[in-house]
Chains A and B, each alone.
Chain A
Amino acid sequence: MAFQFAGGTYVRTSFVPATRQDIVESIRTHLNTAGWTDVSGGVGDRKLDCVTTPQALDCRIRVYDPGSGNCARVKFMTQDEVRQGIDLFLIPDATFTIIANKYQFFVYAPGLVTPRHFICGGVPFLEDFLDGVTTEAIWCHGDAQNDGGSAAGGNFRLRAGVKGQAWSWQTRNTSAWGGTQDGIGSQRLEVTIRGNDNSGSVCEGPTLWHNDWPYKIPARIAWGLESESIEAKVQGQLWNAAVIHKDYPMDRLATWEEDSVSYDWINLTNSNVLDYGRPSLWVAYQETP
C-alpha cells in the first residue's frame, strides 16, 4: 500500500476573489498550471479536463458564474458529459487556496469551515487489480448544499466522510449518483482502528504507534456503487494524500518523506474528533524545495 503521487506540476496558491467570475478565472488559471486543459468556454464559464491517469481515468469540470446569486459553481462530469455531477458552491467573500495536481484539486478558505468555502474532487489512483476493471471513477463533494449556504455537514474539511447532510457526487463505470444522500454508501476515507474500538459509544481517540507517532496510511476513498444505501467499497486512492490518525488543526503544515522524497504537506481536516481514529486528510502540495 504505497503512497501515490501525481507528478507533474503541483499547485498551492491563494487568491482573493471579489466576484463569482474571479473564482471561475482563478480556478481555471491554477488548474491550467497544474496540467488541466481548457475544453471550451470563455470568461466566467469554463470547462477543463484533467490529465488522463496511468489507469486511464479522467474527468471534466465546468466552473462557472451562473450570472446571479451568491456563488460560483463547479460541476464534475465525465469527459463525454454523459454523466454530470452536482453544483458545488464557492462564495467570493474570503481568501481561498487551491491545491491541485493534474488529477484532483481542493479549494478551501484557510481558517474557515463555514459553508461555501470548500470543494474537492478528481479521479483516483487505481491498484493494479482494478486497472481496466474500473474504467470510470470520479468523486467530488462540497460543504454547502445550495447557493444560500445550507451546510453540508460531512466533508473532508470536517471529517473523514460526507456522513451527515452530504453534498457529494460520484460515478464508477457509468453508475453515477449524488446529492444529499447520506448512508452506508456515502463517500468516506478508509481509516485504521483497533479491534474493540467500535464497541464504545464514543471514538477512542487517535491511533498511535508505541512512540506516539500517529498512524499514517495512503488516503483510500470508498463509496457505494449505486446509491447511499449500497455498502461503500474502496474505489481507489487519492493522489498526494495521506490519512493521519490524529486530530490536528486545519491548515497545519508539515514536511515528511515518502519513498525517500521529501514533500510539504497540509492538513485539510479541522480537528476531527468525530470519527474513529480521529483521522485527518493531509495533501502534499510540493516536493520540499
Chain B
Amino acid sequence: MAIHYAGGTNIFKIVSGANKTAIADGVKGALVDAGWSITSGGSGDWILKTATTLQLLDVEVRIYNPGGANTCARVAFDYPGRKEWFLFADGTDFWVIANRYQFFILQNGVFSTEGTFVAGGVPYLDPFLEGIIKTEAWSMGNCFSDARGGLTSVPATWRTSDSCVIQVGAEDNSSGRAHVNGNIGTAGVNALRLMLKIGKTQPLGTDVAGTRWINDEDIKEGSRFAFGIINEDKPRIRGGLWDAVTVMGSYPGDTFTTFDSHTWMNVCHNYAGIGKASLWVVVPATSPTGP
C-alpha cells in the first residue's frame, strides 16, 4: 500500500504539561498550526475540527481542563461510542505530532505510564470505500480515568503494541475506540489493530518469518488499520493512517529515520509480539519546536 500524505503542515511541537489548562491550550495551538479549525471554546476548553479529507471525512475533538481536583486534561472525540482519554498534568511536557487529519500526543521516552498517550483522527480511504464509508473516526489512549494508577497494567495502544486491548475485563476499559457510519467500534480484542505483513503459515508455532526482504530491509507499507463493529465476527480494514508507515520490525520508540524524502519518528516502542511491528509517522524535523 502506498503511503498517503496529508499535505498541509506537519507539526512536531512541545506542549507544556504544567497544568491541565496548559495542556489544553498547547494542544489547541499545535492543532491549529497543523490546519485544524476552532469550532468553539476558550482557554482551557477547546473544540477543534480536522480539515475535511478528500473522502469527506472530518471529526471534532474537545480538549479541556475539567476543573476541580482532577489531575488530567481530557480529550474527547465527538463520535458515537467515543471515550474520553486522559492526559496527566504532572509538569511533564508532551510532544504533539499532527497533520490536518490526525494527531499523536505523547511524552518523550515514556511508554508504559498511564495518561501519557492519546491519538486520533480521521483516516484515509481507498477509492472503492469512498461513498460507502461516509463517517469514520478513531482514537485511543492509555488512560481511561482521572485516577492514574487505577489499572492493573497500562493498556496496550499503538504506543507499545500493534493493537489496542481491553483491560481488566471491562468493555469500557478498551484503549481504542472508533466508529464507522454511526456504528460503534467494538472494544477489546476487536479494537483498533494495525495491519501487518508476515510470512507465517499456521497459528502459534515459531515459524514467523517473511517480515524482511532478503537484503534485511524490513517490510514497510503505508499504515492501514482494522476494527470491529457490533454484530461482525472479526475486525474489517476500514482505512489508513495519514503520514504513517507500519514497519515489520521492532525499534525503540521516539527514534528517527529518513526515507521517501521525509523524516519519520517511531511511535511504537519495542513491540515484541509475534508480529513485531512499529508505527512511524512523519515529523518535520528530528526535534520538536518549543512551547
Interface residues of A (CB under 8 A from B): 1, 127, 129-130, 133-134, 154, 159-161, 163-164, 172, 183-186, 188-213, 215, 220, 222, 224-225, 231-235, 274-276
Interface centre among A190, A210, A212, A276 (most CB of B within 10 A): A210
For residue B199, which residues in chain A have a CB less than 8 angstroms away from its CB?
Answer: 161, 188-191, 222, 232, 234
Q: How would residues 195 to 210 of chain B score, 1 for a CB under 8 Å from any chain A CB and 0 otherwise?
A: 1111111111011111
For residue B194, which residues in chain A have a CB less than 8 angstroms away from its CB?
Answer: 194-195
For residue A207, which residues in chain B have a CB less than 8 angstroms away from its CB?
Answer: 195, 226, 237
Q: Which 7 A-B pairs have the closest CB atoms?
A: A195-B162, A232-B209, A196-B163, A163-B201, A222-B210, A195-B193, A161-B201
Q: Report which of A129, A202, A234 forms a contact with B210, defined as CB distance below 8 A.
A: A234
Contact of B132 with A by CB under 8 A: yes
Chain B nearest CB from A287 CB (Å) reads: 22
Q: Are A195 and B275 in contact (CB under 8 A)?
A: yes
For residue A189, which residues in chain B have a CB less than 8 angstroms away from its CB?
Answer: 199
Q: Identify 22 residue pairs between A and B in the complex whose beta-carbon atoms are under 8 Å apart, listed by A's number.
A: A1-B1, A129-B213, A164-B202, A190-B197, A190-B198, A190-B199, A191-B197, A191-B198, A191-B199, A191-B200, A193-B196, A195-B194, A195-B196, A196-B163, A198-B203, A207-B226, A209-B126, A210-B132, A210-B133, A211-B132, A231-B212, A233-B216
Contact of B110 with A by CB under 8 A: no
In the complex, the chain A residue whose C-beta lies closest to that of B219 is: A234
Contact of B262 with A by CB under 8 A: no
For residue A204, which residues in chain B have a CB less than 8 angstroms away from its CB?
Answer: 234
In the complex, the chain B residue whose C-beta lies closest to that of A160 is: B201
Q: Are B215 and A198 in contact (CB under 8 A)?
A: no
Given A129-B217, A234-B213 in contact, is the A163-B207 Cβ separation under 8 Å? Answer: yes
Q: How would residues 168 to 210 of chain B score, 1 for a CB under 8 Å from any chain A CB and 0 otherwise?
A: 0000000000001000000001000111111111111011111
Q: How far is the CA of A159 from the CA of B200 in the complex (A)?
A: 11
Q: Report which of A1, A183, A196, A197 forms a contact with B207, defined as CB distance below 8 A.
A: A183
Q: Which secondary structure dominates chain B's binding surface? A: loop
Q: How would residues 211 to 235 of chain B score, 1 for a CB under 8 Å from any chain A CB and 0 otherwise?
A: 0111111010100001000000111
For residue A1, which residues in chain B have a CB less than 8 angstroms away from its CB?
Answer: 1, 221
Q: Report which of A134, A163, A233 forms a contact with B202, defined as CB distance below 8 A.
A: A163
In the complex, the chain A residue whose C-beta lies closest to that of B271 is: A195
Contact of B274 with A by CB under 8 A: yes
Q: How far is the CA of A204 from the CA of B126 in the complex (A)?
A: 24
Q: How far is the CA of A158 from the CA of B126 in the complex (A)?
A: 31
Q: Report which of A164, A196, A203, A231 forms a contact with B203, defined as CB distance below 8 A.
A: A203
Interface residues of B (CB under 8 A from A): 1, 126, 128-129, 132-133, 161-163, 165, 180, 189, 193-204, 206-210, 212-217, 219, 221, 226, 233-239, 273-275, 277
Q: How far is the CA of A43 from the CA of B33 in the complex (A)?
A: 75
For residue B209, which residues in chain A have a CB less than 8 angstroms away from its CB?
Answer: 184-185, 188, 222, 224, 231-233
Q: How far is the CA of A206 from the CA of B273 in the complex (A)?
A: 21
Q: Are A196 and B210 in contact (CB under 8 A)?
A: no
A-B contact count (CB 8 A): 163
Q: Report which of B129, B162, B165 forms a contact with A210, defined as CB distance below 8 A.
A: B129
Chain A nearest CB from B140 CB (Å) reads: 12
For residue A161, which residues in chain B have a CB less than 8 angstroms away from its CB?
Answer: 199, 201
For residue B201, which residues in chain A have a CB less than 8 angstroms away from its CB?
Answer: 154, 159-161, 163-164, 186, 188, 274-275
Q: How far is the CA of A208 from the CA of B196 in the complex (A)?
A: 13
Known: A129-B217, A193-B275, A199-B273. 20 other contacts (CB 8 A): A129-B215, A130-B215, A184-B207, A189-B199, A190-B197, A194-B163, A194-B196, A196-B273, A197-B193, A198-B273, A199-B189, A209-B236, A211-B129, A220-B210, A222-B209, A233-B209, A233-B212, A233-B214, A234-B210, A276-B198
For residue B161, which residues in chain A have a CB less than 8 angstroms away from its CB?
Answer: 195-196
In the complex, the chain B residue whose C-beta lies closest to that of A134 is: B214
Q: How far is the CA of A184 from the CA of B210 in the complex (A)?
A: 9
Q: How far is the CA of A209 from the CA of B196 in the complex (A)?
A: 14
For residue B129, which residues in chain A have a CB less than 8 angstroms away from its CB?
Answer: 209-211
Given A185-B209, A194-B193 in contact, is the A274-B214 Cβ separation under 8 Å? Answer: no
Q: Are B238 and A234 in contact (CB under 8 A)?
A: no
Q: Report which of A191, A205, A215 forms a contact with B234, defined as CB distance below 8 A.
A: A205
For residue B273, which residues in chain A have a CB less than 8 angstroms away from its CB?
Answer: 195-196, 198-199
Given A188-B199, A198-B200, A201-B204 in contact, is the A210-B210 Cβ separation under 8 Å? Answer: no
For residue A224, which residues in chain B have a CB less than 8 angstroms away from its CB?
Answer: 209
Q: Are B163 and A195 in contact (CB under 8 A)?
A: yes
For residue B277, which residues in chain A have a CB less than 8 angstroms away from its CB?
Answer: 195
Q: Are B219 and A190 in contact (CB under 8 A)?
A: yes
Interface centre among A127, A199, A206 (most CB of B within 10 A): A199
For residue B275, which residues in chain A have a CB less than 8 angstroms away from its CB?
Answer: 193, 195, 197-198
In the complex, the chain B residue whose C-beta lies closest to that of A279 is: B201
Q: Are A192 and B196 in contact (CB under 8 A)?
A: yes
For residue A184, which residues in chain B have a CB less than 8 angstroms away from its CB?
Answer: 206-209
